[in-house]
Structure 1
Amino acid sequence: MYGKQKKTRKYATMKRMLSLRDERLKEKDRLKPKKKQKKDPSALKEREVPQHPSCLFFQYNTQLGPPYHILVDTNFINFSIKAKLDLVQSMMDCLYAKCIPCITDCVMAEIEKLGQKYRVALRIAKDPRFERLPCTHKGTYADDCLVQRVTQHKCYIVATVDRDLKRRIRKIPGVPIMYISNHRYNIERMPDDYGAPRF
C-alpha cells in the first residue's frame, strides 16, 4: 500500500491582482494619479459651532426657577414606590419649593405596557397633581423623548435613576438631574443660587 501524500492547504492565500496603477495595464484601465488641491489661504474657513441657548448664563440656567417642572421617568416612579416616598412631597422636601411633576405620553405608555404588576405606578402617574405633556414624535421610547424635550426646552429638571439616561442628560448643559439615594431625593448639577440644598 502506498501512503497518501499529504497536501498542506495554504491558508489565506489570495490571487495576485494587478494594481490599478500598474504600468502593464492599458492607459484607459489605469487609475489616474490624484492631484492635490491647494487650499486657498484667503478663503474663509467654515466651522460648525453649536448654538448655545440664550437661557444659559455660563452654567446657570435662567429658565429654571420655582415652581420647578420635573420630568419623571418610569423607573423613578417604581423606585419611589420601593423606597416608600411620596413623589410630590419628597420633591418639595428636596428643593424647598413648589414642584410640578410632569409626565410625557411616552412614559405613560411605558407604564401601561408594564401591565398589572405596576398598577400602583400607573395610579400615581394619573395623579391630578401631575402635569401631562403630549408627545408629537413617532414611537414610544421614553429616554429619547425626555432627552429631546430637555434639549429643546431647558426649563425642566429630569428625575431618573437610569444610568444611561443620566449619562445622556449630563451632556446637555443647564439640565439638573434628580435621583434617589439613601431613601430620599437628591439633586445633581443644580446651581446654588436657586436655593437647592447641597448634599
Structure 2
Amino acid sequence: MAKSKNGGSGGSKARKTRAFGAVKRMINPADPRLKANAEKAAKKIADEKAAAVKHVPQPSTSLFLSHNPSLGPPYRVLVDTNFINHSLQNKLELVQGMMDCLFAKCIPTITDCVMAELEKLGPKYRMALKIARDPRFERLPCSHQGNYADDCLVQRVTVSKCYVVATCDRDLRRRIRKVPGVPLMYIVSRRYQVERLPDGGAAN
C-alpha cells in the first residue's frame, strides 16, 4: 500500500515539473535587454533610411528667376478639345481672341491626340474639327500610346515650359496648376482670360 502511495506521489511531481516547464516565461519590462534591442532596431531603421537613394525631380532653371524666360511672343497656346467647343458656343474666334487676351501674336497649337478626340466625336463636332484643321494651327505629333489628351498635355508642359495651356476643363486646370511656370487660358464672361502669366507678360 505504501509502495503504491510513493509511486503515485512520484508521478504527481513529474506532472507538476512538466507543467511548470511548459509555462512561457515573460521578460520583465524593465529588463535592460529590451532597451538594447529597441536601440538596435532604431539604429538599423535610421541606417536604412540614410542609405536609401532619393530621386528628386530637378526643377526647370527658368523657375529660379522672377519669370519664365521660355515664354514670350509669339505665344504658343496649347489647346484642348473642350476649349475649341466652348469657343464655338461663345462665338469666339480663337486666334483673334487669344491675341486680344495676350496683346501679342499667338500660335494655336494642337496635338495629334486632341485631333483624334475631335475626329471620334463625330458629325456634331465637325465645326470644331474644321477650326482645328486651320492652317494657322501648329500640329504637334504624339508618340505615346492611346489617345487620352489630358495626360499628353500635362506631360508635354511638364517637360517643356514654353506653352500657355488653353482649357475649360476644371480637372485638367487643377493638374496644370501643379506644374510651376505654366500659364492657363480659359473662357470667362464670353472672353478669354489668362492665369499665372509671368511677370512682364500680358494681362487678361
Distance 1:59 1:113 in 2: 42
Name the SS for the 1:164 alignment partner. Answer: helix
In structure 1, the partner of 2:189 is 182
What does the per-residue CA deviation read over 1:57-103, in whole Å, with 9 as the maximum and x for residues that have no partner?
A: 34521100000001001000000000000000000000000000000
Shift of 1:168: 0.1
In structure 1, the partner of 2:135 is 128
In structure 1, the partner of 2:106 is 99
8 Å Cα contact 1:59-1:174 kept in structure 2: no
Shift of 1:166: 0.2
Shift of 1:191: 2.1
In structure 1, the partner of 2:169 is 162
8 Å Cα contact 2:92-2:191 kept in structure 1: yes
Distance 1:154 1:89 in 2: 23
What does the per-residue CA deviation read over 1:82-131, in whole Å, with 9 as the maximum and x for residues that have no partner?
A: 00000000000000000000000000000000000000000000000000
Distance 1:126 1:88 in 2: 13
Q: Equivalent of 2:84, from 77, 85, 96?
A: 77
Alignment identity in percent?
66
Unaligned runs of 5+ in 1: 1-21, 25-32
What does the per-residue CA deviation read over 1:6-52, in whole Å, with 9 as the maximum and x for residues that have no partner?
A: xxxxxxxxxxxxxxxx959xxxxxxxx99615135xx6785443311
Distance 2:42 2:83 in 1: 56
Distance 1:112 1:23 in 2: 74
Aligned residue pairs, count: 166
Q: For 1:108, give the aligned amino acid.
A: M
Q: 1:47 to 1:100 in 2, by over 3 A?
A: same
Q: Equivalent of 1:148, from 152, 155, 163?
A: 155
Q: For 1:178, give the aligned amino acid.
A: M
8 Å Cα contact 2:67-2:199 kept in structure 1: no
Name the SS for the 1:55 alignment partner. Answer: helix
8 Å Cα contact 1:85-1:184 kept in structure 2: yes
Distance 1:23 1:183 in 2: 79
In structure 2, the partner of 1:57 is 64
Q: For 1:197, give the aligned amino acid.
A: A
Name the SS for the 1:91 alignment partner. Answer: helix
Shift of 1:54: 1.6
Unaligned runs of 5+ in 2: 1-22, 26-36
In structure 2, the partner of 1:36 is 41
In structure 1, the partner of 2:198 is 191
Distance 2:141 2:148 in 1: 14
The 4+ residue runs of structure 1 with deviation greater than 6 A are none
Q: TM-score, normalised by structure 2?
A: 0.75
8 Å Cα contact 1:85-1:183 kept in structure 2: yes
Distance 1:23 1:119 in 2: 80
Distance 1:161 1:192 in 2: 23
Name the SS for the 1:69 alignment partner. Answer: strand
Q: For 1:172, give the aligned amino acid.
A: V
Q: For 2:61, give the aligned amino acid.
A: S
**Larger helix proportion, structure 1 or 2?**
2
Aligned residues: CA RMSD: 2.2
